[in-house]
Amino acid sequence: MARLVIVSNRVTIGGKKGQAPGGLATALKDVLTPETIWFGWSGRRTEQSGRLTQHNSDGAQIIAMDLSEEDYKKFYIGFANRTLWPLMHYRPGLLQFDRSDYDGYLKVNHRFADALMSILQPDDIVWVHDYHFIPLAACLRQRNFAGRIGFYLHIPFAPPALFAVLPPGRALLSALCEYDHVGFQTEADLHHFRSCVRDILNYSINKDGVIFGPNRPCISSAIPVGIDTEGFAHMAAEAEHQAEAERLRESMGSKALILGVDRLDYSKGLPQRFSAYGRLLEKHPEHRQQVSLLQIAPKSRDDVKEYRDIKRQLDQLVGQINGQHADFDWVPLRYITRDMPRMVLAGFHRIARVGLVTPLRDGMNLVAKEFVAAQDPNDPGVLVLSRFAGAAAELQDALLINPFDPDEIADALHVALTMSLSERQARWRRMYETIRRNTASAWAQTCLQAATGSRRLTISPASRYHWQTDQRLEAQNEETTWPVRPAV
Ligand code: ADQ
The pLDDT assigned to 471 comes to: 29
284 CA → ligand 1 middle, Å: 31
The pLDDT assigned to 306 comes to: 87
The pLDDT assigned to 1 comes to: 72
**Three-class secondary structure of residue 296 per DSSP:** strand
Pocket of ligand 1 (CB under 6 A): 22-23, 154-155, 225, 261-263, 296-298, 339-340, 345, 362-367, 370
Q: How confident is the model at residue 488 (pLDDT cuts 50, 70, 90)?
A: very low
The pLDDT assigned to 486 comes to: 29
In angstroms, the Cα distances linking 323 to 2, 259, 333, 414, 465 are: 61, 20, 10, 22, 49
Could you say which of 228, 362, 411, 470 is catalytic? 362
Residue whose Cα lies nearest atom 18 of ligand 1: it is 262
Residue whose Cα lies nearest atom 16 of ligand 1: it is 367
Distance in angstroms (rounded) separating the CA atoms of residues 437 and 433? 6
The DSSP code for 255 is: P
Q: What is the DSSP string of 4-34?
A: EEEEEEE--STT-TTT--THHHHHHGGG--T
Mutate which of 10, 266, 365, 371 for ligand 1 pocket (most atoms within 8 A of beta carbon): 365
**Tens digits of residue pLDDT in 244-295:** 999 999 999 999 999 999 999 999 999 999 999 999 999 999 999 999 999 9
Phi, psi values for residue 362, rounded to 5°: -150, 140
Q: Where are the beta strands (DSSP E) in 73-157?
A: 125-129, 149-152
pTM attached to this predicted model: 0.91
225 CA → ligand 1 middle, Å: 11
Distance in angstroms (rounded) separating the CA atoms of residues 53 and 254? 52
Q: How many C-beta neighbours within 10 Å does residue 257 have?
A: 21
**Three-class secondary structure of residue 175 per DSSP:** helix
Would you say 259 and 297 are in contact if contact means Cβ atoms under 8 Å apart?
no
The pLDDT assigned to 23 comes to: 65
Q: What are 183's strand-pairing partners? A: 152, 221
Mutate which of 367, 388, 439 for ligand 1 pocket (most atoms within 8 A of beta carbon): 367
Sheet of 382-386, strands arranged across: 333-336, 291-296, 256-261, 354-357, 382-386, 399-401
234 is catalytic: no
Distance in angstroms (rounded) separating the CA atoms of residues 136 and 39? 12
Q: Which atom of ligand 1 is nearest to the CA of 227?
A: 14
Query: What domains can you pick out in the chain, each with its CATH number?
Result: 4-226+440-479 (3.40.50.2000), 229-437 (3.40.50.2000)
**Tens digits of residue pLDDT in 26-83:** 678 778 888 999 999 999 999 999 999 998 776 789 999 999 999 999 999 999 999 9
Could you say which of 89, 129, 132, 154 is catalytic? 154
The closest alpha carbon to 40, from 107, 108, 138, 139, belongs to: 108
349 is catalytic: no
2 CA → ligand 1 middle, Å: 31
Q: Which atom of ligand 1 is nearest to the CA of 300?
A: 3
Task: Say whether pLDDT at 14 is over 90.
Answer: no
Helices 243-252 + 342-351 axis angle, to 10: 30
360 CA → ligand 1 middle, Å: 15
215 CA → ligand 1 middle, Å: 35
Instruction: Tell me what the mean pLDDT of segment 305-324 comes to.
Output: 94
The pLDDT assigned to 173 comes to: 98
